[in-house]
Amino acid sequence: MEDKRNIPIIEWEHLDKRKFYVFGICMTMMIRCYVTTYELTRKYVSHYTNNNALKSLVAGGSASLVAQSITVPIDVVSQHLMMQRKGESMGRFTVRHQDGKGLLVFGQTKDIIVQIFKADGFRGFYRGYVASLLTYIPNSAVWWPFYHFYAEQLSSLTPKDCPHLLLQAISGPLAAATASTLTNPMDVIRARVQVEGKSSIVLTFRQLLAEEGPWGLTKGLSARIISATPSTIVIVVGYETLKKLSLRPELVDSRHW
């Protein structure tokens, strides 16, 4: 079926795979695994449907599953680092110093890793893994369809010679803001599970509602959107540039930058 979109999506079969991986060598391994999972899943789903939104939904969710399996341990450690406050117990791990004052043992990353392993073993680094999947799989699954949707809408509102890369750079943050708004409640619960050592997502949700009401589910949303904006622009511009540079020679002239 011929694609009638104003900004044609560069699919997996349009790429010169050798160029794609040569140019992509400068990216981190995590980003490459995210991108590869997304593209291969889109290709697989394309055998069953031509619906771009559905392809993006399934591929985005699959890519997020791979990404979270890599990043959850890092996230668990960083969450404790961010929650650290001198002289107070902000998590489960505190020690008594000689002066009798409570001192967080999370002064260094090494100490955090050791304490988590002592308390929970290897599984401690995957505390909140299910909560993370319930947060980021939907986040990624809806980000991609909204990204293509915003890019298409912006394209229809701007002159034809407007750089597509600029429209895509704007669409990325818009999609991120939308996805963040939809998934923020689960993200708040995920943070509590990981930092406070809770084991039940449902009980954590009930406790949050009882303590702070529905507004507690919006905590950190503005900061999340603000922090996602610059990184999303960089990722989108890098990702789309990588795909355009990796196009097969016969398709180079068919894609507008």
Given a cut of 80, whether residue 167 has pLDDT beyond it is yes
Tell me the mean pLDDT in the region 16-27: 68
Residues 220/231, Cβ–Cβ less than 8 Å: no
Given a cut of 80, whether residue 120 has pLDDT beyond it is no
Range in 30-34, 40-44, 216-220 the model is least confident about: 30-34
pLDDT at 174: 96
Range in 59-73, 146-160, 212-226, 233-247 the model is least confident about: 59-73
Residues 144/83, Cβ–Cβ less than 8 Å: no
Name the CATH topology of 12-83+127-252. Answer: Mitochondrial carrier fold (1.50.40)
pLDDT at 114: 81
Reported as half-sphere exposure (CB side, CA atoms, 13 A), residue 24 has a value of: 23
Q: Return the CA Rg of the chain.
A: 21
Given a cut of 60, whether residue 24 has pLDDT beyond it is yes
Euclidean distance between CA atoms 106 and 83, whole angstroms: 10
Domain boundaries, the chain: 12-83+127-252
Share of the chain above pLDDT 90, in %: 15
Q: Pick 249 or 91 by higher pLDDT.
A: 249
49: left (phi over 0), alpha (psi -120 to 50) or beta: beta
Given a cut of 70, whether residue 41 has pLDDT beyond it is yes
Tell me the mean pLDDT in the region 185-195: 85
Q: Pick 190 or 96 by higher pLDDT.
A: 190
111-to-28, 92, 104, 137, 197 alpha-carbon distances in Å: 26, 14, 10, 30, 17
Range in 23-27, 48-52, 91-95 the model is least confident about: 91-95
pLDDT at 171: 95
4-to-1, 52, 136 alpha-carbon distances in Å: 9, 12, 31
pLDDT at 55: 84
Euclidean distance between CA atoms 68 and 207, whole angstroms: 25
Euclidean distance between CA atoms 111 and 119, whole angstroms: 12
Place of tokens 């196009």: 247
User: Which of 16-20, 135-139, 172-176: highest mean pLDDT?
Assistant: 172-176
Q: Which amino acid is at 140?
A: S
Given a cut of 80, whether residue 80 has pLDDT beyond it is no
Digit-coded pLDDT (tens) for 204-245? 899 989 999 989 899 989 988 998 898 899 889 888 888 888
Euclidean distance between CA atoms 233 and 224, whole angstroms: 14
List, in sequence order, every residue forming a beta bridge with 15; answer none if it has no partner. 247
Euclidean distance between CA atoms 64 and 140, whole angstroms: 6
Euclidean distance between CA atoms 75 and 79, whole angstroms: 6
pLDDT at 27: 58
Tell me the mean pLDDT in the region 122-147: 83
